[in-house]
Amino acid sequence: MPLDDAARLRAAADFVRRHDSDTLLPLLLPGLHGPELASVAANCRFAHVGLLVFPRDQRHLRDLLAVNGLAEDTPSCPSVVVRERLARRHRRDVAELDVRILRPRVHGPADEPRAVEVFALTVPAGSALEQVAAHERALDHEAHLAFALEHPDPLVLRGLCAVLTRLGARPDGGGYNPHENGTVLYFATPDTRCGYRRIELYAPGDHREALAAHTGGRPGADRPAETLLHLLTGAWTTQALAAFARLRLPEAMDVTAPSRTRELARRTATDPRSLATLLRYLAMLGVVSEAEHAEHTEAADGHGAFRLTDLGRLLRADAPDTMRPLALMYAGPFYGSFAALDHSVRTGRPAFDHLFGENHFDHFARDPELADLFDRSMAASSRMFGPLPDHPVITAAAQAPTPRTVVDVAGGNGELLGRILTAHPSLRGTLLERPHVIEAARRSLGSLGCGARCDYRSGTFADLPHGGDVYVLSRILHDWDDDRCREILRHCARAMGARADLLIVERLLPTDGSPSLATAWDLHMMCNVGGRERSAEHYARLLADAGLELLDRTPLPLEAHVLHARRAARPGAADAHGLPHGRGPAAGGSDSG
């Protein structure tokens, strides 16, 4: 006789608390051991146990969670994958199956944060879905153990799939959930010693090419019309996020408790019914979550209550890594130009210039508010800079016996330079920027306490100061065509001493056709800026044309990379220190330093 939902939840939570990746993987895949086990365990971690339950209503679901010590106020989002699997298995209309995902937190044996992934299909007493519930409880089709990829690289994902298949795991479906931007690949295991016979690999992001290979079809091939509709409504998402930010809704929402829609409408001077419509759409995206407590859902205004999620908090103006300026920029000037994308494709020229009569740099410079928004939107992606202060070139410069200088070329408001100087008090900085940006950079770096160690230069790329030890070009080259990039890099080469280093921060186009933020930004740069994203090999050729040599590349957050280059060595040439060019310490001083 199958266990009831409460007992199944209890068993799942206990399992999560007892096991870890190293002990669990051999139980699931008995042929996995030695170096191969170590490699698989290093690339994916045990994340949760998943199961499908069938509460009578929301109150019953809260009771099921509470009796097992699981958080009752766990945010939920729609399940795309399980809903479609149920529809196919039971020949039901997808619209009948409102399956929600909840992930109440549970801690592992070493206090690691994990979860029980609960798929909840409401089945009221007497419902026609009771037969579905009985069948699913008996066979537990959706019960699985999930492993999350630590680094969702397409090559790693394909490698893990190959290992699992070779060890006898059989592909068992999967899907992409646009509501949380995650891809799941399921496997059935023929021989298991832990009671679960299905494995889920979870990869953040859109990996539908890998999914198609896994399921043996094209992405969306089984539901092309629905897939196309989701794609066509992408513009609505952009504007919904921007409206959320413009109306200051994230700041108006209580960060610790649900906020009633009518009260939010009063605080933000919005129409309660229209606001509820916007919030329900944003809940589908995971930006907010709809509160399920009876005292909120039964509010007299009928519009319920919502809480801000971690995703939504990034749109607060006061968030440490706020992305609010990006939302306003992408839904503002850049949004309009995408309506003329066909102009860019026909002519090879930016649609932005076509619509506004000038390039975006000149257009923004004429409007102080737009110029400020643009600079803040560039700083909004600053989380990609997190590892840069620890780059070997920077740390070697910081450890040099005499003070070294980092030159940030077109460094905006000094966000990146400030991180580097704050992390390394021995370093000095030089910021080269446009005149109207310099003052904002002075204020920003001064507030960080490193303004006294920074020199500010107003000018163009031709005004690059000589004698720096490390030159940084962060998200600059993708603004320009190849000829202009070569010119910028030649300015760098002339300013750099023989042992100076150049660090270039950019996104890299994949060479295998895998989905990538760089591919999306390539379209954006073409339409709005007239620039382009490039592969590492393309950058290597541009560097070589400028007399520079690409030495290595290192991944950064937000799918960015830092490329390390130096002046190319001339055979037999030596610098002032008697060392062959390019062979000194990783960040040694320049000839003039």
Q: Which two tokens stand for residue 212?
A: 């198609």
Q: Which two tokens stand for residue 267?
A: 């605080």
**Range(s) within the chain of domains with CATH label 3.10.180:** 5-229
CB 523 within 8 Å of CB 509:
no
Nearest alpha carbon to residue 458 among 485, 479, 439: 439
Which residues, in sequence order, are bridge partners of residue 4?
none
Question: If pLDDT is split at 50, 70 and 90, which confidence band does 583 have?
Answer: very low
Q: Is 362 exposed, middle or buried (0-12, 13-18, 19+ CB in 10 A)?
A: exposed
Question: If pLDDT is split at 50, 70 and 90, which confidence band does 223 have?
Answer: low
- Per-residue pLDDT at 149 exceeds 80: yes
Long-range CB contacts (within 8 A, 24+) of 516-523: 516/559, 517/558, 517/559, 518/559, 521/478, 523/341
Q: CA-CA distance, 581 to 589, in Å (whole number)?
A: 12
Q: CA-CA distance, 145 to 51, in Å (whole number)?
A: 9
For domain 379-567, give its CATH number from 3.40.50.150, 3.30.499.10, 3.90.1150.10, 3.40.50.700.
Answer: 3.40.50.150
Q: What is the second-level CATH architecture of the domain 5-229?
A: Roll (3.10)
Q: CA-CA distance, 64 to 122, in Å (whole number)?
A: 13
Q: Is 145 exposed, middle or buried (0-12, 13-18, 19+ CB in 10 A)?
A: buried
Q: Is 60 known to be catalytic?
A: no
For every residue of 489-535, which 3-state class applies, written as one string? HHHHHHHCCCCCEEEEEEEECCCCCCCCHHHHHHHHHHHHHCCCCEC
Name the pTM for this structure. Answer: 0.60
Over residues 454-479, mean pLDDT: 94
Between 108 and 511, residue with greater pLDDT: 108
> How high is the mean pLDDT of the chain?
85
**Range(s) within the chain of domains with CATH label 3.40.50.150:** 379-567
- Per-residue pLDDT at 270 exceeds 50: yes
DSSP 580: B
Q: What is the second-level CATH architecture of the domain 233-319?
A: Orthogonal Bundle (1.10)
CB 553 within 8 Å of CB 508:
yes
User: Residue 276, Cβ neighbours under 10 Å: how many?
Assistant: 22
Q: CA-CA distance, 388 to 505, in Å (whole number)?
A: 9
The strands making up 470-474's β-sheet, listed across from edge to edge, are 454-458, 428-433, 405-409, 470-474, 501-507, 560-567, 548-556
Q: CA-CA distance, 579 to 43, in Å (whole number)?
A: 41
Q: Which of the following is catalytic: 360, 363, 478, 564?
A: 478
293-348 pLDDT, tens digit each = 433 344 444 568 898 887 888 899 988 888 899 899 999 888 989 999 999 999 99
CB 16 within 8 Å of CB 115:
yes
340-362 pLDDT, tens digit each = 999 999 999 999 999 889 888 88
Q: 484-516 burial, b for 16+ CB within 10 Å, e for fewer?
A: ebbebbbbbbebbbbbbbbbbbbbbbbeeeebb
507-533 pLDDT, tens digit each = 999 887 766 788 889 999 999 999 999
